[in-house]
Structure 1
């Protein structure tokens, strides 16, 4: 009884302390400077001049390879993504456009600073606003204001865009890049300026470290996961894995070897295979075979990266010489951030395991997806659970202000999962089949987001979706091992 009383005391003390993390509590964090950040809660900045942003089609005239690599990438689709548009539509209806602008600042930076983007939907936007993170977004980034943000690090779009300047001779366009420019760089169309920021993770961190607009709870911590891990120590940046082909990515992760200049590509490839799949369907429906092939190639790249990211060990545990438990160790082998990353309360990585005896009889099974796409309650998930103000379960990023569970796998780290098992009648080795599975969201969440797309996006006409599809699942690891029932 005494131990129970003490536990209750600690529980009460913990609950009394937790409100200190809620929005509106004084002294928790620095507030956003609205004069410095006129588009807050997006922290994007624009050095406004008569210099206009350059549409990606113009860049393609001199940089056809880079344009083709960027086309169909996550950056190119950042604003047009129907899943994002559904989420944005829900956010505007729930908390208003002024708050939802935080998302828009990274999904269409030019659309925000020029005032074109006024909420969800794709109508009435020029090419630069519609194409999300196009060439001239990154190559107009002059600096970032990380030290002036509430967390004193790059976050929530804290980059400064400066596409050019006004001079006595007229407007001069300026493009920033990672290398010292040659004499002919820009060929009279624009100036070229070396910007060391473009070689660093801090460039990417501006949009891949996301905090709640009010409580400043970290919602996406990809940058911090990298910074606190071995890749940052070895100076392997985001670009060294996500702006290269598959083989170079594997080398960067395995050897901590930075790519050579000629090895970089504008793929920006990660785990978002669903969007590549949707783009391929849209391209086929529209008769654009080249774009369909481009999207399919990027889909395969994403799947292959997922399959290379992790590995699994099955380690039997015996007691009194009898099999008592199976320890499954999941390694984050090649991701420079946690597995999963980004919106971890929406992403799903889980273990599916089936154990059979020599006759093929199933002794135990866990983690099998049901007909409705739901996972069983006992499935071992690697992700997180978000909470709202009243400590209730919440998935919408504008509502999540804390986490009740955060179970992700750090770079070059691992997590162990234990399964109790008993097979006293087994006369021979057991077959243990293990899968590490990934999907981008729970089935019902994906359906809700696609159902919420704004009215100017016709899923049937564009993607051929006449009903909500089952969300694809990628098996990151598939492994079968033989385990003796006795030692």
Structure 2
């Protein structure tokens, strides 16, 4: 079975040794005079925390590797969920490993039992995942809302045709054996790499497999549509993004630190006449002077109204995220339009010939890393390792030949649009 190999290259395994986590936690402890306490470790090294062996990240240095990160023994001994955020998971600590099989085969390593919390086909399984992926700081600010976003979406519906769980997306299944034991039957086993958007930035197992899994998820998360309404002296370009398959808002998680943006360029008469969101390699997104930049994400503000990305200082959060669908019925009171538009006005004496657009993502902003590097808490090599992903289904090229005539949903005028429907 591949479970351990997959987990060994996961962000769960990386959680306790991640240098960005270590640097940010050290900054938080210093700036709060230690008041940050176990806020980070309770999710980044939960078993060590529950056993009373770690209160801060520095405590992890003295512990054996099997107590670092989010481990097999922690997740598979959860027997109840007692809240909605900041890891309120109850551990049985009885040595029984819980999982999705109703008839687990006996083995000499540990007793086994079925648990709906560990069965990705059960809606309740998202409660186990979600409570560490929903974070509220000491001021009551809901910093990370992945679980809450899922709960508000149609994916948490009782309708089996609409519902989807965390595990169905992040732990895809295949037929295989779950243990190296005689007589173990072929079952549906699930990927324990548990990819999201974050990646290991140091030498770590399974790095290429991890990045490939992240790319696969991103390639199917959003779709886009590009329409051009021609006007005298230029054109209006309407770009639509639709969050069709992320299962929650996009971006999600640590949206204070995520960097997502639209790159759009336009050419006429063989020359570049417009660009927005063109970010050179190694350049922080938020250093751009770009009034048209479309960058879904969040910004935090302290009690004095000053912008901050330090979560322990955030007293208010402003978010502009791409929402998940809440219902398929446009007449329902909780309906949310997930077909989100943005208009670009492009002056050009010549007719536009080509427009290219795509959505790009950095799991963490280079400006955030620069702050930690400047404090001497992070190796500059970590910055160089931060990837920039392109979301495959959002990459569009508009030309007159490729477009079809439609009525623009934004302006109600005739427009030339791609992709063709």
Q: Same fold, TM exceeding 0.5?
A: yes
CA 1:306/1:467 → structure 2, altered by over 3 Å: closer, same or farther?
A: closer
- Counterpart of 1:226 in structure 2 is 150
Secondary structure class of the residue paired with 1:416:
strand
| Partners of 2:126 and 2:167 within 8 A in 1 | yes
- Counterpart of 2:347 in structure 1 is 422
Q: How far has the Cα of 1:323 moved from its partner?
A: 5.1
Deviations 1:422-450 (A, max 9, x none): 32x31x54211112111122212123335
- Matching residue within 279, 284, 299 for 2:211: 299
In structure 1, C-alpha distance between the alignment counterparts of 2:49 and 2:360, rounded to whole Å: 37
Deviations 1:195-230 (A, max 9, x none): 2122311001110111112x2111000011111112
**Greater fraction strand:** 2
Q: How far has the Cα of 1:452 moved from its partner?
A: 5.6
Matched, 1:478 2:395: yes
- Matching residue within 100, 122, 126 for 2:64: 126
- Matching residue within 350, 353, 369 for 2:261: 350
CA 1:310/1:81 → structure 2, altered by over 3 Å: closer, same or farther?
A: same
In structure 1, C-alpha distance between the alignment counterparts of 2:169 and 2:33, rounded to whole Å: 36
| Partners of 1:175 and 1:190 within 8 A in 2 | yes
Correspondences of 1:102-141 after superposition (within 5 Å)? 102-121=39-58, 122-130=60-68, 132-141=69-78
- Matching residue within 204, 209, 217 for 2:141: 217
Q: How far has the Cα of 1:318 moved from its partner?
A: 4.2
In structure 2, C-alpha distance between the alignment counterparts of 1:155 and 1:364, rounded to whole Å: 44
**Greater fraction helix:** 1
- Matching residue within 291, 310, 315 for 1:401: 315
Deviations 1:107-164 (A, max 9, x none): 101221223224233421123322x111011011011112xxxxxxx21010011221
Secondary structure class of the residue paired with 1:398:
helix
- Counterpart of 2:86 in structure 1 is 156
| Partners of 2:223 and 2:241 within 8 A in 1 | yes
In the superposition, the TM-score normalised over structure 2's length comes to 0.80
Matched, 1:390 2:304: yes
- Counterpart of 1:335 in structure 2 is 246
Correspondences of 1:133-212 after superposition (within 5 Å)? 133-146=70-83, 154-164=84-94, 173-182=95-104, 184-185=105-106, 187-199=107-119, 200-212=125-137
CA 1:471/1:193 → structure 2, altered by over 3 Å: closer, same or farther?
A: closer
- Matching residue within 192, 196, 210 for 1:270: 196
CA 1:466/1:324 → structure 2, altered by over 3 Å: closer, same or farther?
A: closer
Correspondences of 1:234-383 after superposition (within 5 Å)? 234-244=162-172, 262-273=188-199, 275=200, 278-279=201-202, 282-283=203-204, 291=205, 294-318=206-230, 324-357=235-268, 359-370=269-280, 372-373=283-284, 374-378=287-291, 379-383=293-297
Deviations 1:26-70 (A, max 9, x none): xxxxxxxxxxxxxxxxxxxxxxxxxxxxxxxxxxxxxx5211111
Q: How far has the Cα of 1:415 moved from its partner?
A: 1.7
CA 1:97/1:91 → structure 2, altered by over 3 Å: closer, same or farther?
A: same
Q: How far has the Cα of 1:472 moved from its partner?
A: 2.2
Secondary structure class of the residue paired with 1:381:
coil
- Counterpart of 1:86 in structure 2 is 23
In structure 2, C-alpha distance between the alignment counterparts of 1:72 and 1:448, rounded to whole Å: 27
Matched, 1:72 2:9: yes
Q: How far has the Cα of 1:411 moved from its partner?
A: 2.1
| Partners of 2:78 and 2:92 within 8 A in 1 | yes
In the superposition, the TM-score normalised over structure 1's length comes to 0.70
| Partners of 2:86 and 2:131 within 8 A in 1 | yes
**What RMSD over aligned residues (CA atoms) do the two structures have, in Å?**
2.7
CA 1:270/1:467 → structure 2, altered by over 3 Å: closer, same or farther?
A: closer
- Counterpart of 1:30 in structure 2 is none
Deviations 1:232-269 (A, max 9, x none): 12221000000116x99xxxxxxxxxxx9615221211
CA 1:450/1:160 → structure 2, altered by over 3 Å: closer, same or farther?
A: farther
